[in-house]
Amino acid sequence: MRMVFRWFGEGNDTVTLEQIKQIPGVEGIVWALHDVPAGEEWPMDKIIEVKEKAEACSLNIEVVESVNVHEDIKLGLSTRDHYIENYKRTIEKLAQAGVKVICYNFMPVFDWIRTDLHKELEDGSTALFYEKNKIENINPEELVNEINKDSALTMPGWEPERLEYLTNLFKAYKDVDEEQLWNNLEYFLEKIIPIAEQHGIKMAIHPDDPPWSVFGLPRIITSQENLRRFLGLNESDSNCLTLCSGSLGANLQNNVPDMIREFSDRIAFAHIRNVRVYENGNFIETSHRAKDGSIDICEVVKAYHEMGFEGYCRPDHGRHLWGESCRPGYGLYDRALGIMYLWGIWDSLVKSRKESQSYDEFAIKS
Ligand code: CS2
Ligand code: MN
C-alpha cells in the first residue's frame, strides 16, 4: 500500500507540502490543476511546476485527482470528440511527467453532494453531512449557493460559474437515462483507454457520491454489480477503479470488503474513509475508526492486505478538528490521524503474517 495525500496546490490549500512530508509513510501528493476548466488540455509548464514543488519536498506526483470529464462527453453530444482529444493529450503529458494513476468520475453535473459542510459531531468537531429530507426539498441552485457560502475556498465541482448554465444542463440531461450514460461512458473508455495503456497510465473511476440518483440525474457507479459492469465495458488493465469506501459505504447494501476482494486487481487507488449512516437515510463523515461509523475500516484494510494490495491509498476526507480552518473535508489533523489508524491496522497485519521473521520495515536505519 502506497500512502498519498490530497493537496489542492499553493494558495488553494491551507496544508503545506512540508506538513504533508511529516505524516508517516506518505510518499506523494494527489493533485490536479484546479484552475484548468474541464475539457481543456493541461499545460505542460503548469504540470512541471507542481512536479518541481513536490519533488523539492521529496513527494512524488504519481496520482492525479481529477482530470474532470467535460459534460458534453457525459451527455454524448457531438462536440464530445473535441474534448476527448484534449483529454488524450492531457493523459500523454501527465505520463511524460511521471504520473501513474488518473482518478476521474462520471457523475452528471455535480461531483459529491452534501447539505452541510460543518455539521457538529458529539465531540464538538465538525464534518460533512448529508440530509436526505433537505436534498429532496431544495433546488440545486439554492444548494450551490449554500455550499459556496459555507466555504472560503472554491469547492471543486461546485464552482459558482456553474450556476449560470445549471438550468440548461438539467434540461440537457432530461434525455439521458442510466443506459444512455453507460453508453456514453463506454464511448469515452473506448477512446481514452488505449492511450492510457500505451503510456502506462491507470484510469481509475471514482464512485458516485452518494451512490444514488440525486435531483433526478442518472448515476451509475454505485454498487458492486455496477462496478462489475463498468470493468466489463473495457477489460484493459488500464481500466481501473478508485474504490472509495466512504462514497460506496453511504449505501449500507454495499459491502466494501467484498468489493475489494472481487476487484482487487483492478483497484488502482484506494480512498479510505468512514461514514455513519442513519436509519432515515442521512449520513455524516466520522473519524476513520471502525467504531465511530457504519463501515468496518479494520475489515476494509484487512481485505486490501489479504489481496496483497500494492496500489495507492489516501485517507479520503477528515473532520475539522481543534479549531482548524481549512478546506471542508480536507484539513490536516484528521486525515493525518486517519493515516496513522490505517498504518496501525496494516502494520499489525503485516507483522502477524511475518511473525517469525524480522520485520525490516521496523528496523532503524542509520
Ligand atoms: C472527492 C471527490 O473531494 C471529494 O470530495 O471525494 O470529489 C473526488 O475527488 C472526485 O469525485 C474524483 O473525481
Ligand atoms: Mn473518495
Task: Tell me which residues have their CB closer than 6 angstroms to ligand 1.
Answer: 65-66, 103-105, 111-112, 157, 206, 209, 316, 329
Report CA torsion sign: 63, 313, 237, 107. negative
Q: What is the 3-state secondary structure (H, E, C) of 57-90?
A: CCCEEEEEECCCCCHHHHHCCCCHHHHHHHHHHH
| Domain that includes residue 347, residue range | 2-365
| Residue to substitute in 4, 66, 154, 274 for testing ligand 1 pocket (most ligand atoms within 8 angstroms of CB) | 66
pTM of the predicted structure, to 2 decimals: 0.95
Return the pLDDT at 148: 86
Q: Are 222 and 212 in contact (CB under 8 A)?
A: yes
Q: Give the model confidence (pLDDT) of 299-312 as tens digits.
A: 999 999 999 999 99
79 bridge partner residues: none
Q: Give the model confidence (pLDDT) of 154-178 as tens digits.
A: 777 777 777 778 888 899 999 899 9
Q: How confident is the model at residue 2 (pLDDT cuts 50, 70, 90)?
A: very high
Q: Which three cell numbers stand for residue 230?
A: 463498468
Return the CATH number at 252: 3.20.20.150
Q: Are 144 and 158 in contact (CB under 8 A)?
A: yes
pLDDT beyond 70 at 365: no
**Number of domains, the chain:** 1
Per-residue DSSP letter, 320? B
Q: Give the model confidence (pLDDT) of 63-94 as tens digits.
A: 999 999 999 999 999 999 999 999 999 999 99
Return the pLDDT at 172: 93
Return the pLDDT at 157: 77
Give the type of residue at 48. Answer: I
| Residue to substitute in 31, 104, 112, 243 for testing ligand 1 pocket (most ligand atoms within 8 angstroms of CB) | 112
Task: Give the mean pLDDT of the chain.
Answer: 94
